[in-house]
């Protein structure tokens, strides 16, 4: 028998008119989202995030894309887009969402009934907070070169190795992990998907201090970590294709104009504060950035339209990630250029979180690196979209 999890939200929101739905979502967000957490300057930790997370869970809105059969909101693509737009418009912090956007869809598509029954409810109620164990010190852009290995020993896998750039691993109690289960297979083959309880003995999490002096990313070390074999998702040695499919979510997410759009509003505030807003040369720079942003929105819109029509996105979605992240950087470059000596301050200017050129600037740096560096994205575009040879 197929798994069935009762959704918390009793209403089928797909039945609402788009604009009514938008208002409904907006109203609820405005009433419930903590004001002091709007547009946070850094990625929030679980401790800061969880009141909002549990509020979403309580409302039944935590997993808007999951089918209602699995306890999700079951929104249509078009409605999901509106939902996301409203979340972004309000400046809600990104939550610890790996369970929601990665593990959930993974298990819904590839999990056993038992896995679905065990894990999905605990994502929905916030009991399990997930992190993603993909990158390794020598397998960053070249993810398929990963070497963390899992060897079957009885009904357990024994995991040894190291992951890096694991976002908010220190907040997570579960980890979905790419491991090598066949060392003799070709690179992309022999990789499997494991679900690992972070409390298992042998796991060490070490935060990485980044250029923001913040600890969003971690290293995670695995030393003879024993994982039940039933926690392998899908077919052994066939984890790579599942992992790649999950990354397609990330590419459209990273191509969303929201980061650039937010930085852009702050650029104006900074320009006004620095007294350059009225200058013709600044206006010209600002106009160029603004038109880039508006055209990015138009291009993004064409991809969103595809989602709305239920189409899958092709490799050309990489265009968004490249242009968005580089625009984000150019906007924040401009911030430093006009900030005078404030370009060197550690904290927001005058205690005003909206005047934080250095924070924005530093935040923009890794955008062109993570989620597949822009060099990788351009490789994808040239080979998979333009058909240029090897």
250 is catalytic: yes
Q: According to the binding rule CB under 8 A, does residue 153 interact with a copy of itself? A: no
- From 102-110, 119-127, 147-155, 286-294, give the range in contact with other proteins by CB under 8 A: 286-294
* Among 3, 25, 274, 355, interactor with other proteins by CB under 8 A: 274
Nearest-approach distance from CB 389 to a copy of itself, in angstroms: 17
Nearest-approach distance from CB 285 to a copy of itself, in angstroms: 9
Q: According to the binding rule CB under 8 A, does residue 200 interact with other proteins? A: no
Q: Which is nearer to a copy of itself, 188 or 283 (CB)?
A: 283
In the three-class reduction of DSSP (H, G, I as helix; E, B as strand; rest coil), residue 16 is classed as coil
> Total residues contacting a copy of itself (rule CB under 8 A)?
5
Residue 323 binding partner per list a copy of itself, other proteins, none, with a CB distance cut-off of 5 to 8 Å that depends on partner kind: other proteins
Site for a copy of itself in 282-301 (CB under 8 A): 283-284
Contact assessment for residue 339 and residue 274, using Cβ atoms and an 8 Å cutoff: yes
* Among 140, 161, 239, 371, interactor with other proteins by CB under 8 A: 140
Question: Taking CA 304 as the corner, what is the angle to CA 67 and CA 80, rounded to the nearest 5 degrees?
Answer: 30
* Among 11, 14, 23, 138, interactor with other proteins by CB under 8 A: 138
Residue 151, H or E segment:
strand 149-153
* Among 31, 184, 199, 281, interactor with a copy of itself by CB under 8 A: 281
Strand 130-133 with 174-180, pairing: parallel
Cα–Cα distance, 85 to 96 (Å, whole number):
18
Catalytic residue, candidates 9, 88, 149, 250 = 250
Using a 10 angstrom Cβ sphere, with 0-12 exposed, 13-18 middle and 19 or more buried, the burial of residue 190 is: buried
Q: Which is nearer to a copy of itself, 63 or 276 (CB)?
A: 276
Site for other proteins in 303-342 (CB under 8 A): 305, 308, 316, 319, 322-323, 329, 333, 336-342
In this structure, is the dihedral angle defined by the CA atoms of residues 303, 88, 361 and 130, taken in order, positive or negative? negative
Buried/exposed 73-84: b ≥16 CB within 10 Å, e otherwise: bbbeebbbbbbb
Q: Which is nearer to a copy of itself, 284 or 347 (CB)?
A: 284
In this structure, is the dihedral angle defined by the CA atoms of residues 317, 321, 323 and 324, taken in order, positive or negative? positive
Site for a copy of itself in 212-231 (CB under 8 A): none
Cα–Cα distance, 238 to 175 (Å, whole number):
18
Q: Which is nearer to a copy of itself, 287 or 344 (CB)?
A: 287
Residue 320, H or E segment:
helix 318-338
Nearest-approach distance from CB 334 to a copy of itself, in angstroms: 13
Tokens 């924040």 identify what position? 332
Q: According to the binding rule CB under 8 A, does residue 185 interact with other proteins? A: no
Tally Cβ neighbours within 10 Å of residue 348.
17
Cα–Cα distance, 172 to 177 (Å, whole number):
13
Q: According to the binding rule CB under 8 A, does residue 279 interact with a copy of itself? A: yes
Nearest-approach distance from CB 308 to other proteins, in angstroms: 8
Q: According to the binding rule CB under 8 A, does residue 280 interact with a copy of itself? A: yes
Nearest-10 crossing angle of helices 318-338, 239-254: 40
Q: According to the binding rule CB under 8 A, does residue 358 interact with other proteins? A: yes
Nearest-approach distance from CB 281 to a copy of itself, in angstroms: 4
In the three-class reduction of DSSP (H, G, I as helix; E, B as strand; rest coil), residue 330 is classed as helix
Q: How many residues are given for the chain? A: 390
Q: Which is nearer to a copy of itself, 69 or 283 (CB)?
A: 283
Kindly list the catalytic residues: 250
Residues in contact with a copy of itself by the rule CB under 8 A: 279-281, 283-284
């Amino acid at each position: 028998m197929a798994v069935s999890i009762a959704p918390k939200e009793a209403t089928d929101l797909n039945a609402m008119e788009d604009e009514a739905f938008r208002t409904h979502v907006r109203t609820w967000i405005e009433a419930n989202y903590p004001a002091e957490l709007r547009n946070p300057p850094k990625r929030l930790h679980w401790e800061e995030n969880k009141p909002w997370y549990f509020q979403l869970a309580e409302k039944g809105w935590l997993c808007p894309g999951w089918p209602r059969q699995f306890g999700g909101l079951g929104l249509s693509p078009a409605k999901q887009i509106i939902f996301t737009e409203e979340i972004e418009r309000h400046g809600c912090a990104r939550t610890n969402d790996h369970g929601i956007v990665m593990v959930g869809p993974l298990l819904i598509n590839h999990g056993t009934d038992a896995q679905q029954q065990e894990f999905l409810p605990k994502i929905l109620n916030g009991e399990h907070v997930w992190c993603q164990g993909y990158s390794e010190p020598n397998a960053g852009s070249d993810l398929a070169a990963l070497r963390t290995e899992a060897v079957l020993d009885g009904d357990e896998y024994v995991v040894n190795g190291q992951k890096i750039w694991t976002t908010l691993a220190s907040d997570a109690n579960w980890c979905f992990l790419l491991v090598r289960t066949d060392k003799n297979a070709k690179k992309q083959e022999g990789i499997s998907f494991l679900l690992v309880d972070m409390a298992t003995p042998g796991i060490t999490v070490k935060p990485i201090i980044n250029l923001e002096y913040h600890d969003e990313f971690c290293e995670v070390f695995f030393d003879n970590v024993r994982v039940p074999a039933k926690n392998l998702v899908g077919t052994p040695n066939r984890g790579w294709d599942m992992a790649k499919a999950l990354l397609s979510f990330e590419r459209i997410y990273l191509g969303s104009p929201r980061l650039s759009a937010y930085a852009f509003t702050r650029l104006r505030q900074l320009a006004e504060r620095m007294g350059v807003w009225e200058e013709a040369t600044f206006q010209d720079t600002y106009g160029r950035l603004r038109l880039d942003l508006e055209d990015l929105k138009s291009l993004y819109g064409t991809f969103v339209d595809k989602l709305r029509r239920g189409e899958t996105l092709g490799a050309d979605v990489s265009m968004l990630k490249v242009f968005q992240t580089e625009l984000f950087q150019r906007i924040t470059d401009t911030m430093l250029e006009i900030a005078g000596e404030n370009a060197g301050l550690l904290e927001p200017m005058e205690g005003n979180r909206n005047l934080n050129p250095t924070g924005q600037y530093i935040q923009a740096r890794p955008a062109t690196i993570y989620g597949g560096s822009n060099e990788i994205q351009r490789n994808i575009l040239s080979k998979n979209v333009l058909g240029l040879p090897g």
